[in-house]
A and B are shown apart, each in its own frame.
Chain A
Amino acid sequence: MGILLNNSWTSPKKLKTKGIIGMNRRNIRYIGRYNDRHLYPLVDDKLKTKLLAHEYGITTPALIGTVTTQFHVKHITTMVAGHGGFVIKPAKGSGGKGILVIDHVDGDAYVKPSGHHLGREDIERHVSNILSGLYSLGGSPDVAVIEALINFDESLSEYTYEGVPDIRVIVFQGYPVMAMMRLSTAASDGKANLHQGAVGVGLDIASGWALRGVQFDRSRQDHPDTGHDLASLHIHGWTTLLELAASCYEMTGLGYLGTDMVLDRDHGPMLLELNARPGLAIQMANGEGLRPRLDLIERQTESRSPVERVAFAQRHFARRGELEVTSSAPATAELAQTAFSSPGNSL
């Protein structure tokens, strides 16, 4: 790697051979062609997504309540009373903007996962800002959604710092094509956004085992804060999670979709939010371009159910990890399949 330090550019030809999709191609060829604009509000408004998911029997984090008017901002503290931790997010926010996570309440203070204490007026101001449209696209008035905190599966706690790790699955025409896990770091301030410094870990579509890790677009073997090896990262209930993600296609009608899932300790895989314009960093995390997989899906003419689509994807997109194996690691896909049968808290 060091040899090429002064030459930090690659050629379009190399990227093409790797099947990497660039922004322009994503916008025109996939988002433009497969995502009808009038469907965007379904995913851009998280409240709508939540209600729709409820209709389709897809689990999402429990809804504590919503705040729709400035007048009701004062009621926020009574609304969250009794719940240990909660999350306040703008219904129309994007890129994780305006999401406030409160880990627990300590007397009058609301404590963020980082240990930072917030007062009642801080919470109220945040909700008020959300309502004013500070975080929404185009600054339109918004609604604040308050959800119960996810008790994320503790098998993952060694891979994350202060935040909930989420799993992004790209679903193309209903087929899960590529997946990665996003681990928050100290650099990302507990947020799971790759461009803010979260670690992205590519996941094998067949088994849910980690393939490769990146931070700031450069590859990584371990979590920068916990020092834990990424190679041993495996998602329990992987097939269930993929089926959940795949069924979002029927739910929204969007052909090119980013689904953000979390693993809840008690409720298993949950849908956190959907994205009609998913980013391309997933290719970095997987060390592989999306294009061959998308091309394969585009050639499919048969119509399949979500379960069949997941099976198809697992059959065709299986891959072997690139991470250096130190301790216990998967030998075969069969091992991964057995691991799937024991979901939940394995601490």
Chain B
Amino acid sequence: MSRLPFYLLTGLLIVAGIALSIHRHVEFEVPWTPGEKRQVWEVEAQVDFVGQGDPVIVDMALPGPQQGYRLLTENTASSGFGLSFLEDERGRRAQWSIREASGPQQLYYSAQMLVAPQAKRPDTPPPKLKKLVWEPPFDAAAKQVIERAHQRSADAYTFARELIRDFTGDRQGENVRLLLTQFEQVPLLVKLLNEAGVHARQVSGLLLEDGRRRQSLTSWLQVYNAKGDWVLFNPYTGEQGRPENLLLWEDRGEAVLDVEGGSNSRVYFSMIEHNQPAAAAVRNQLSNDTLLNFSIHSLPLEDQALFQTILLIPIGALMVVFLRVLVGIKTSGTFMPVLIALAFIQTTLLTGLIGFLLVVAVGLVIRNYLSYLNLLLVARVSAVIITVIAIIAIFSVLSYRFGLNAGLTITFFPMIILAWTIERMSILWEEEGPKEVLIQGGGSLLTAVLAYLAMNNPWVRHITFNFLGVQLILLALILLLGNYTGYRLLELKRFKPVTES
């Protein structure tokens, strides 16, 4: 039988596992290590307007996907208003509506933005050029301003920079001053750029600063070059590039706020920065449920906690397979060590070990006495379970009296593990002697401790919980180990005498 399909399968599992993990890391910025903190901005927009007793439609731009930030969650508060989120060529917008509103009104929108350096903005086509008819004498002035900047530039970006410089400080000439009497600076710049054949638009951004309240949006220039790449310019200084702390709120050249049926409309922003553990930030990520995004994080928190433990079992299983197939350690029962290790996670290692040894030792003594009573096996096992409960109860009470709270956690040991271990060990003792009990019991405990150390590693916990692809890799590894026909480590010792002669 050809082994090729087997290797193809394991290879496929590994590739799929790695691809899924990398996808999750890149696409959802799930960090590889658990300790990482993520910077999250909580931004709140407050829309004020005065209603005049007529139907009102409030249309506000919302931050869309963009470079440097990722939207985690968003909330609105607007009593009595209908609300819908729109997404069209004007970008993401929220629309509040009400049949009748009079007097001052307030609407709230808040968003959690994750600082994500890898986040990319989606490709949007550059805006259309708007050719304008300039009235004299502005046409001549515009022409001269464009001419002057054009001469001192090489491409769209340098042109925009020179143009903005001509608007600032000493370089502000007659022509510019004339134009500024008629137009506002930023729309004027867009017009001039368009006139010169450069795609550009005015966008609104929010400069993020921790703990600021009643902030307004600032205007920025987006300039496209021939290839369709764009660069952000500060329209007042000519500075090129996006400042680190700039969150683009409206990036389609549209109005930020549009209120129909209201007056004195304004929008203010307040913001708070906080650091969240990466895992929490990941959890808050808005999930659009695709197959690739298949995630435990969409489950209720309670089930997530359960899964966090369940997903560790393959790690323990891998440990057991490794120790048995490659090392050759004897354990009593195949996966009992994993169950013991799971109990250790609840009790912590030291109390778990001490408790386990105490209960099993006392249980062995009692079970030894029970075997003298000449009982049926079922009755004896049941009696062992009850005595185990009694032993645990006594240990818990004693340790509590002595002020050792740790003793109480022995109760996390499933009854059946302890009873079963005692039963097995005592049979082993009778049949094979105490030496075999030490070998198998010690092997089980050693395996359990190693499995516990592997499973309780924060790094491992983080990886197994956040990257489901890792489970495929583990499966492939276990399959490969199951295919290993070589010698076990301990066999090198066992078969030593044969090689001597």
Question: What residues of B have a CB within 8 angstroms of the CB of A23 in the complex?
Answer: 328, 488, 491
Q: Give Cα distance in the complex from A202 to B487, angstroms.
A: 22
Task: Confirm or deny: A343 has a beta carbon within 8 angstroms of a beta carbon on chain B.
Answer: no
| Chain A residues near B376 (CB-CB < 8 A) | 70, 128, 132
Q: How far is the CA of A1 from the CA of B483 in the complex (A)?
A: 35
* Stretch in A10-18, A42-50, A302-310 touching the partner: A10-18
Which residues of A are found within 8 Å of B500, using beta-carbon distances? Answer: 1, 4
**A22-B486 contact in complex given A125-B374, A132-B378, A134-B427, C-beta closer than 8 Å:** yes
Contact between chains at B377 and A134 (CB < 8 Å): yes
CA gap between A25 and B488 in the complex, in Å = 10
Q: Report if A18-B487 is in contact (Cβ < 8 Å); known contacts: A23-B328, A97-B431.
A: no
Given A121-B374, A133-B377, A134-B427, A12 contacting B487 (CB threshold 8 A): yes
- Which of A56-64, A284-292, A330-338 contacts the other chain? A284-292
What's the minimum C-beta distance from A282 to chain B, rounded to whole angstroms? 11
- The answer on a CB contact under 8 Å between B486 and A18 is no
Interface residue? A78 (CB, 8 A): no
Q: Which residues of A contact B484 (CB under 8 A)?
A: 24, 28
From A15, A214, A219, give the contact of B499 (CB < 8 A): A15
Q: How far is the CA of A15 from the CA of B325 in the complex (A)?
A: 17
B interface size (C-beta, 8 A) = 28
Contact at B495–A20, with CB atoms within 8 Å? Answer: yes
Interface residue B100 (Cβ < 8 Å from any Cβ of A): no
A212 and B497 alpha carbons, distance in the complex (Å): 12
Q: Is there an interface contact between A24 and B486, defined as CB atoms closer than 8 Å?
A: yes
Q: How far is the CA of A18 from the CA of B328 in the complex (A)?
A: 20
For window 273-289 of A, CB contacts with B under 8 Å fall at 283-284, 287-289
Interface contact A25-B377, CB-CB below 8 Å:
no
In whole angstroms, what is the CA distance A288 to B500 when docked? Answer: 11
Q: How far does the alpha carbon of A218 sit from the alpha carbon of B494 in the complex, in Å?
A: 9
Contacts of A75 in B (CB 8 A): none
In Å, the complex CA distance between A327 and B211 comes to 101
Instruction: Tell me the smallest distance from the CB of B423 to a CB of chain A, in Å.
Output: 9
| Nearest Cβ on chain A to B31's Cβ, whole angstroms | 38
B485 lies within 8 A of chain A by Cβ = yes
Cα distance A4–B499 in the bound complex, in angstroms: 12
Is the Cβ of A14 less than 8 Å from the Cβ of B377?
A: no
Which residues from A are CB-within-8-Å of B431?
97-98
Q: Within the assembled complex, what's the spacing in Å between the Cα atoms of A18 and B411?
A: 52
Per-residue CB proximity of A1-41 to B under 8 Å, as 1/0?
A: 10010001111101100101011110011000000000000
Bound Cα distance from A170 to B151, whole angstroms: 97
The answer to whether A219 touches B497 (Cβ under 8 A) is yes
Can you name 8 extra interface pairs (CB under 8 A) apart from A18-B495, A28-B483, A287-B498?
A22-B485, A23-B328, A24-B484, A28-B485, A132-B376, A214-B497, A283-B495, A322-B501
Q: Which residues of B contact A (CB under 8 A)?
A: 325, 328, 374, 376-378, 427, 431-433, 482-488, 491-501
Show 20 A/B contacts (Cβ-Cβ < 8 Å), sorted by A: A4-B500, A8-B496, A10-B496, A10-B499, A20-B487, A20-B495, A20-B498, A22-B491, A23-B328, A24-B484, A98-B431, A128-B376, A132-B377, A132-B378, A133-B377, A214-B497, A219-B497, A284-B497, A287-B501, A289-B498
6 A-B pairs closest in CB distance:
A132-B377, A25-B485, A22-B487, A10-B496, A14-B499, A10-B499
